[in-house]
Structure 1
Amino acid sequence: MPSRLDRRAFLLGSGALALGGPVAGVARAAPMPGLEILGAPNGSTIVLVDLIESGALAAAAPGATFRLWRTTDDLRAGIVSGRTKLFSTPTHVPANLAARGMPLKLLCLLGMGHLSVVTADETIRSFADLAGKPVLGFFRNDMPDLIFRAIAKMEGMNPDTDMTLTYVQTPMEGAQLLAAGRASTAILSEPPATAAIVMAGTQGRILRRAFDLTEVWGRHKAQPRIPMVGLALHAGLLDEAPELIAALRAGLGPAKDRVLADPAAAARRAERSLEMRPMVFEKALPKFKIDVVSARAAKDELIDFYTTLLELDPAALSGRLPPDDFYLDL
């Protein structure tokens, strides 16, 4: 999902949000009706969908609705207009905006890495085996590409010279090219990686995951996980809707547990709310690396992640780390 952010639009938006924020120190005890919650088109968003459909937010946010956002322009429009105050997102998006002064916070992580290299090439078994090979990527200069480039650097390779790296716009486009035999190796997210393998199988082609990028990342970092997807909110909710914050803190862990305990039910929810094929979603679920981890507890890990992105492309985070109060407790 493209996340290149228009600086001028977001600076203007931050001013609008600041003007619309609550008066400091004034809490409103009443429920927050009519809340629109936006979800990233990513498998780990299923935790947020389960939370909403379980009724866990009904008392604190009666009539809350869920909407899938398609692009960061869509997400930005919701944030700047004031309609969107709670949303799942790639973790660098709210960090970028918070670094520019927008009143956004990260509550927790939801997804710990969902990228893998899928190939028809039997000789590719490790990252080093990509040397000299054609590799198809997606979202150039955005998070998936930056993560791949960071890992290449960790592995002592230059993706611009040690392999032939080309790009498509979306991971599903890459999955379709791979399944049709028009590409041999691709970097894919989930569930497109699973979809590619399934689609190829129906056409008599064999694709496999050569390796999980999260596992390669983990060989160079403290843990084998990449803090890619999180739940962010407008800081105003902390004062305006303390009951909602409490419901999120109480409900996200159980929602994760329900998702992991009943993949078939999660897949049915994904079909309704995330527009993902249930059979593919259920197969891909273990690859999402779903977890619910407090942003404050993962602060050091997030700072390391953000620093890695900054070294590759300062614009990805507006040139700086978000402020210390960006990371909330769950």
Structure 2
Amino acid sequence: MKLKRILSAVAAAALCVSLAACGSSASSSSAATSEAAAPTAAPEATASPETAAQGLRVAGLKGPTTMGLVNLMDSEAGADYTFTMYGAADEIVPLLVKGELDAAAIPANLAATLYQKTEGAVEVACVNTLGVLYIVENGETVQSVADLQGQTIVTTGKGTTPEYVLRYVLSENGLDPDTDVTIEYCSEATEALSQVQAGAATIAMLPQPFVTSALSQVEGLRVALDMNEEWQKVAGSQLVTGVLVVRKDAVEADPEGFAAFMDGYAASVEAANSDLEGTAALCESYGIVAKAALAQKALPQCNIVFETGAEMKTDLVNYFDVLFAADPASVGGALPGDDFYYGA
């Protein structure tokens, strides 16, 4: 019964994590990507049963949170781990809770929720993706947050992280989100974009890599504001999107092995930011993004990082404080304890 309660609660929280699995094409959702296919084993990176028994079982979402992993997945060292791609966070949750997965690249607030619902059985190992939200405009009116006063913004994610981020940035810039701007919520990014295409709206808040796709579809559309930069100005820390969460028992079973995995992950992220063409090809190969060409254009704006220790903790604590103030349920009802932060 306890496991059923955990799964039920965390599945509800998974509805708040739409941002990190942003759509990879104009036909995909800005929430969890609309691909609902069965989980996909990463080609050539899935270990044999004998190796898998010793190596980590790692899950990734199709979208920015996993782009930094692909170079490790494709490496010789990657053969020591089992990587599986999923279309939505709620597919990963029960497997992680039951111990059928060891680690997962997931939205940050879901990691906090899992910490609460598993009574501290998981910890966050690193931040892997910073902010991927952007304000786009078909026009030249918006040059700063102040210019959003009196404007209508179409976006997705009502009651979830995108709404909390937008409202916080507006409020900290002296704008009342309820009276100074009009925020219209759509079910997915394609709906928001269609309003801009039709001329019904000129301003939208969208995630990467959907933004890159949208810029190629709407003549005159431009990035007006980078919400990661705007968050940093008012919060004094980075806006976090995705993290790698790991079960503590998996780390304790082989701490040196996990440290080696982290070293490989750090090298993979470095390659993702330096070898855009090669990383983009791997993103397509492993089904993380539909087309390599789109991935290559989007990678520089996806803010892929490998942030650990005190820096990771500072950014996450500030981020969780904002989410908790907006809606305690978005981080599992309480703020994570210090034991949530691996190596910090």
TM range (shorter): 0.7 to 0.9
Equivalent residue for 1:256? 269
Where in structure 2 are the equivalents of 1:235-314 lying within 5 Å?
Answer: 235-273=248-286, 274-314=288-328
1:94/1:44 CA distance change after superposition, 3 Å: closer
> Measured at CA, do residues 157 and 260 of structure 1 come closer, stay the same or move farther in structure 2, by a change above 3 Å?
same
Correspondence 1:38 to 2:59: yes
Q: Which runs of 4+ in 1 moved over 6 A?
A: 11-14
Separation in 2 of the partners of 1:44 and 1:97? 17
Provide the C-alpha distance between the structure 1 equivalents of 2:9 and 2:227, rounded to a whole number of angstroms. Answer: 37
Deviation at 1:37? 2.2
Aligned to 2:162: 144
CA distance in 2, matches of 1:79, 1:192: 28
More displaced stretch, 308-317 vs 41-50: 41-50
User: For residue 112 of structure 1, what is the aligned residue in structure 2?
Assistant: 130
Aligned to 2:242: 229
| CA displacement 1:237-287 (0-9 Å, x = unmatched) | 112343541222211221111111111111111212213322222112111
Q: Does the 8 A contact of 2:65 with 2:107 survive in 1?
A: no
Q: Map of 1:1-330 to 2, 5 A cutoff?
A: 8-10=5-7, 32=53, 36-59=57-80, 61=81, 64-67=82-85, 69-100=86-117, 101-179=119-197, 181-200=199-218, 205-223=219-237, 225-273=238-286, 274-329=288-343
The residue type paired with residue 41 of structure 1 is K
Q: Deviations over 1:17-53 (max 9, x none)?
A: xxxxxxxxxxxxx863585422123324111122121
Amino acid in structure 2 at the alignment position of 1:197: L
Q: What is the identity, as a one-letter code, of the residue corresponding to 2:78?
A: L
1:316 partner amino acid: S
Structure 2: where are the runs of 5+ without partners? 12-50
Gap change, CA 1:150 and 1:89, over 3 Å in 2: same
Question: Does the 8 A contact of 1:57 with 1:244 survive in 2?
Answer: no
Distance 1:33 1:168 in 2: 45
Quickly say closer, same or farther: Cα 1:178–1:265, change in 2 above 3 A.
farther
Deviation readout 1:212-240 (Å, 9 max, x if unpaired): 111111212324x2122111111111123
Rate the CA distance shift 1:13–1:144 in 2: closer, same or farther, 3 A. closer
Q: CA RMSD in A?
A: 2.5
Structure 1-normalised TM-score? 0.83
